[in-house]
Amino acid sequence: MKFKNLVYVFVTVTLLFNCSSGSDDDTSPTPNPNPNPNPSGKITYNGNIKSIMSANCTSCHGNPPTNGAPMSLTTYSQVKSAVETRGLIGRINNTNNPMPTDGLMSQANRDLIQKWLDDGLLEN
Ligand code: HEC
């Protein structure tokens, strides 16, 4: 009888511990590389591209653009139009004349932008 009570205590404590370690996992700081994925697995402006532009481009291509940049890259239609009419993908892969101006972004970022074009320049 006494042993059985100990088993109940053990099980209860174990369950409580599992609950608290579960919530630790929820607050772990691992960044999510694709915070808003399209259900089909396609690359989208809001899911993938907007954050790359904010981190690498809008310091000059902001609204309004600064440092001599000729256009803003702060909205879906501006970035889409820059891919279609301003050679954005060429510039982000051009080692002689790169965008951003201080050197190429990671291959992963450049691949995402190329795949965004291949997937049809989706917004969401
Ligand atoms: C340090 C400021 C700066 C940053 C950061 C920057 N640009 Fe630029 N960008 C410029 C300037 C200045 C020009 C105009 C001169 C030129 O074309 O080199 C330009 C031109 C461009 C052009 C050509 C526009 C045209 O019509 O000829 C594209 C496309 C472009 N940038 C895309 C980007 C992208 C995409 C990023 C981020 C990955 C980026 N830029 C980051 C300053 C910047």
Q: Residue 33: is its pLDDT beyond 80?
A: no
Angstrom distance (rounded) from CA 119 to CA 74:
20
Which protein residue has the closest C-alpha to ligand 1 atom 9? 69
Average pLDDT rounded to a whole number, residues 115-123: 98
Q: What are the tens digits of pLDDT across the range 72-113?
A: 999 999 999 999 999 999 999 999 999 999 999 999 999 999
Residue with tokens 């892969």: 93
State the chain's maximal CA–CA distance in angstroms.
81
- Answer whether 97's CB lies under 8 Å from 91's CB: yes
Query: How far does the centroid of ligand 1 lie from the alpha carbon of residue 29, in Å?
Result: 32
* Residue 88 Cβ contacting ligand 1 at under 6 Å: yes
Overall pTM > 0.75: yes
Tens digit of each residue's pLDDT (9 = 90 or more) over 43-77: 999 999 999 999 999 999 999 999 999 999 999 99
